[in-house]
């Protein structure tokens, strides 16, 4: 699928670098140990600015999804409709990530167990989600 290339910022750049290496990571607060995603410069729990990136399993459950029918870019014209998932990582209820479904939309259901899949187009690597068999 063709897509707009994300623009990493200071907080998210380490995550994008890990994704390029096919590693899924989240931030861990250096003050209280809370895991967080998306990236933030300050911990919501203890207000610490210290953090490190740590690997996670890449396992998750579908929390919600939409099926996109809108063509936002001409290069996507042959790709719609396609599902976009919001998944809750196994490492914590507050760890939510988006990504395309890699698989059959007929399988989608709340709580479906999925795993991270790394996909790319034009030199950019993204995280998608496929059902665990």
The answer, as to whether pTM is greater than 0.95, is no
Q: Are residues 75 and 25 in the same domain?
A: no
Q: What is the pLDDT along the chain (133 residues), one digit of tens a residue?
A: 555 667 899 999 999 999 999 999 999 999 999 999 999 999 999 999 999 999 999 999 999 999 988 888 787 778 888 899 999 999 999 999 999 999 999 999 999 999 999 998 667 899 999 999 8
Written as one string, the DSSP assignment of 28-93 is EETTT--EESS--SS-TTT----EEEEE---EEEEEEEEEE----SGGGTTT-SEEEEEEEETT-T
The reply to whether 4 falls in a domain is no
- Tell whether 38 and 67 lie within a shared domain: no
Beta pairing class for 25-29 and 35-36: antiparallel
Structural domains in the chain (count): 2
* Token output for 62: 């579908």
């Amino acid at each position: 699928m063709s897509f707009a290339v994300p623009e990493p910022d200071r907080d998210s750049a380490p995550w994008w670098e890990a994704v390029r290496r096919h590693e899924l990571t989240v931030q861990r607060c250096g003050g209280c140990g809370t895991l967080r995603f998306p990236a933030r410069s300050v911990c919501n729990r203890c207000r610490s600015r210290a953090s490190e990136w740590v690997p996670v399993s890449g396992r998750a459950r579908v929390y919600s999804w939409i099926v996109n029918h809108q063509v936002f870019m001409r290069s996507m014209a042959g790709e719609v409709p396609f599902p976009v998932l919001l998944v809750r990582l196994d490492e914590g209820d507050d760890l939510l990530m988006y990504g395309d479904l890699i698989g059959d939309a007929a399988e989608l259901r709340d709580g479906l167990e999925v795993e991270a899949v790394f996909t790319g187009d034009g030199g950019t690597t993204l995280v998608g989600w496929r059902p665990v068999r």
